[in-house]
Chains A and B, each alone.
Chain A
Amino acid sequence: MLLGLGCAALALAIAVPVFGQIDPLPPERAFRFTARALNPQTIEARFAIADGYYLYRDKIHFSVEPATAGLGVPPLPEGKVKEDQFFGRVETYRGGLMVNLSLKNAAVGQKVVIVAESQGCADLGICYPPQVQRVTIALPAASAAPSAGGAQRKSWLD
């Protein structure tokens, strides 16, 4: 039995360096932020969180530029509770997060920038410093189809 275990272990030891070639994702890919306007007053904001990565709930902050557009941020959904030795009770998100933000003072057709700050870690045993991702959105007329924007994508401007 021990010998079998040893052989299996040896086989794994040889195989593992192959997996080892995979680098951790850059944070903007581990925590991909997108946002789109559902109507002139509502922005759907999403984080797509890669497998094996997680975000801290209390480190997620949204803002809008210009600030005069008046961003309303609802309470974020409950995350998975984790007991942290230093910070106490913390909540984390895996997989993804979606939240509808409201714009109180934006004009139809106005361009706004949704700014999302986040901080997360990977199960590999690393943490990323807080990241800021921005999506520029041209607000639609009330009846228009949702206009999408990917984080840091500027192609539609070019």
Chain B
Amino acid sequence: MARWILLVVAAILAAGAGVYFWSSGQSTRDASTLLALSLPDASGHQEALSQWKGKVLVVNFWATWCAPCREEMPEFVKAQGELGARGLQFVGIAVDEPDKAERFAQEIGVNYPVLIGGYGAIELSRTLGNRVVALPFTIIVDRRGRVAQTHLGPLKPSELRAIVSQLL
């Protein structure tokens, strides 16, 4: 009983954070536009997103000028560390300058690829479902290359875990 109450209260808190309901969108769209992308990392080396096809791919659009983005990233680092071996792959796309993105990524010890999209990347995210064109924006792609979820605003750790564990 107490456990149930705790769960409900946790759900309320998640809702109170104001990021869950308005921002989650379920869809089964094809992620081929996203997977066809190739972007440079901070050192200029091009990385094709298609290399992670077959994994559960979490593509997170972020920027250093977006505090909510920075706040949720340590959770991604944790999840990547724990679930990477089971086929979970995070990829950050920084709507930012390479040096700033790199500095922050190093600061929090990001253990997944961070690609540099610049401001053009946010327009790209619009075509992928980011209607309000804001950050953070996260797209979760299943192993078959379909968009399982798009999400505007920080992902609650519990929500992230729930979605990912269904797909792994």
Does B associate with A? yes
User: Is A121's CB under 8 angstroms from B132's CB?
Assistant: no
**Max count, chain A CB within 10 A of own CB: residue among B4, B17, B18, B69:** B18
- The verdict on A126 contacting B67 (CB below 8 Å), with A6-B4, A13-B11 known, is no
**B15 lies within 8 A of A125 (CB):** no
Instruction: Say if the beta carbon of A78 comes within 8 Å of chain B.
Output: no
Stretch with Cβ within 8 A of B (4 or more), from A14-22, A38-46, A139-147, A148-156: A14-22
CB distance from A23 to the nearest CB of B (A): 6
- Mask: chain B, 1-39; 1 = CB below 8 Å from A; 0 = not: 110110011011001011111100000000000000000
Cβ contact within 8 Å between B131 and A23:
yes
Q: List residues of chain B with CB under 8 Å of any chain A CB.
A: 1-2, 4-5, 8-9, 11-12, 15, 17-22, 63-70, 95, 104, 107, 119, 122, 131-136, 152-154
Report how far A17 CA is from B46 CA in the complex, Å. 41
A124 beta carbon closer than 8 Å to chain B = yes
Which residue of chain A lies nearest to B135 when distances are taken between CB atoms in the complex? A127
CB nearest to A56 among chain B residues: B65
A-B contacts, 5 listed (Cβ < 8 Å): A6-B8, A20-B21, A24-B134, A121-B67, A124-B153
Query: A interface vs B, CB < 8 Å?
Result: 2-3, 5-6, 9-10, 12-13, 16-17, 19-27, 59, 84-87, 119, 121-130
A12 to B5, CA, bound (A): 13
CB distance from B151 to the nearest CB of A (A): 11
A137 to B67, CA, bound (A): 35
Q: How many A-B residue pairs have CB under 8 A?
A: 100
Inter-chain CA distance A6–B11, complex, in Å, is 11
User: CB within 8 A of B22: which of A23, A27, A87?
Assistant: A23
- Among candidates A6, A26, A59, residue contacting B5 with C-beta atoms closer than 8 Å: A6
Q: List B contacts of A6 (CB < 8 A).
A: 1, 4-5, 8-9
Contact B8 A126 (CB under 8 A): no
Q: Is the CB of B153 within 8 A of A126?
A: yes
Q: A27 contacts which chain B residues (CB < 8 A)?
A: 133-134
Q: Is the CB of B104 within 8 A of A86?
A: yes
Given A6-B8, A23-B131, verify A127-B19 contact (CB < 8 Å).
no
Give chain B residues whose Cβ lies under 8 Å from the Cβ of A10. 8
Given the known interface contacts A127-B66, A127-B69, A129-B135, the answer about A16 and B21 at a Cβ–Cβ threshold of 8 Å is yes
Contacts A22-B22, A23-B131, A126-B136; is A12 near B66 (CB within 8 Å)? no
The chain B residue with its CB closest to the CB of A123 is: B18
**Distance (whole angstroms) from the CB of A131 to the closest CB of chain B:** 10
- Tell me the complex Cα distance, A84–B152, Å: 22
